[in-house]
Amino acid sequence: MIPFDRRTGKIWYDGALVEWADATLHVLSHGLHYASSIFEGIRIYGGEPFMLTEHIARLRSSAHILDFDLPYDDAVLHAATLDVVRTAAITEGYIRMNAWRGSEVIQTAALKTSVHASVAAWELPEGYYAATDALEKGISLVTGRYARPSPRYAPVKSKAAGNYMIGTVSKNEALRAGFDDAVLLDDRGNFVEATGAHLFFTKDGALHTPTTRCTIDGITRACVLALADREGIACTVGDLAPAFAAEADGAFLCGTACEILPVARIDDHHYDLTGNKVVRQLITGYRDLVEGRRVVDVPNIWAR
């Protein structure tokens, strides 16, 4: 795979399309040293960014939580994203939208820094985010050693770069231990999510998912909840202790990158994927949704 700093094409950077190699920032940028940086990941299906309005709304919400404002309005960011996708002629791909504080000061106080923004996109090869047989065989999760912090202690509702270091360390350790990903607990010892995707369980034909008290409100998660409601699948949102993994008869992750990905194992608990009709029904429903064959009402809770 070509490293991202050696690719070619165009990136929208602070209001204009620039050459890929020219979309750089200084090593003394505040966003690098103090994690005053936010992002969104957006999938492209059939040449169109999926849930773009919602992603831009969440980016703006993330900026406000980190105490800065985006220098461009939603219409500009929307047009910029479409321009990047169409310039690159991408049919199936991924978009990364970023905003960060500049390099005017290197100290924790950052009121006098500028704010920058970028939009990049690239094509996705088949199986980029999961093994090609993962939909059939499922993936394995191990409980990570770090917990998601309480909303009292960190800006957990911002899709901030700094919030993902727990995920990076936890997934690295999971891979070294022979698992595919880690599942994270919260400050009270309950399930939260995987390192970059939300967690759902199935039990007796119904869904169970943790609250988002300690994490961002997922856009794909909202789609799954809307699909379940339309399909008449009951869903309980609440605190789920680790013991629930043994009570459940199935599990899956959901997120922009992984879409809906079945889980075959959590620690020592194994799930039989062959007879789990709920997971298969949601995988089909989500595929229909992203490809425009199905419409569900997903409230834009991020535009507040």
Instruction: For residue 40, count other CB atoms closer than 10 A to its CB.
Output: 24
User: CA-to-CA distance for 234 and 247, rounded, in angstroms?
Assistant: 17
Extended beta strands in 187-255, E state: 191-194, 198-203, 206-209, 235-237, 250-255
Whether 159 sits among the annotated catalytic residues: the reply is: yes
Phi, psi of 109 (to 5 degrees): -65, 135
Closest by Cα among 77, 81, 100, 108 to 25: 100
Give me the count of residues in the chain.
Answer: 304
Amino acid occupying residue 13: Y
How many CA atoms lie less than 13 Å away from 182 in the CB half-sphere?
Answer: 23
- Buried b / exposed e over 187-210, threshold 16 CB at 10 Å, is beebbbbbbbbbbbbbeeeebbbb
- 198-203 and 206-209 strand pairing: antiparallel
The one catalytic residue among 159, 171, 203, 277: 159
**First CA to last CA across the chain, in angstroms?**
39
β-pairing, 48-49 vs 93-101, is: unpaired
CA pair distance 60, 40, nearest whole angstrom? 10
Measured distance CA(31)–CA(108) in Å, rounded: 11
Q: Which residues pair with 181 in a beta bridge?
A: 141
Residue 77 three-state SS: helix
Cite the active site residues: 159
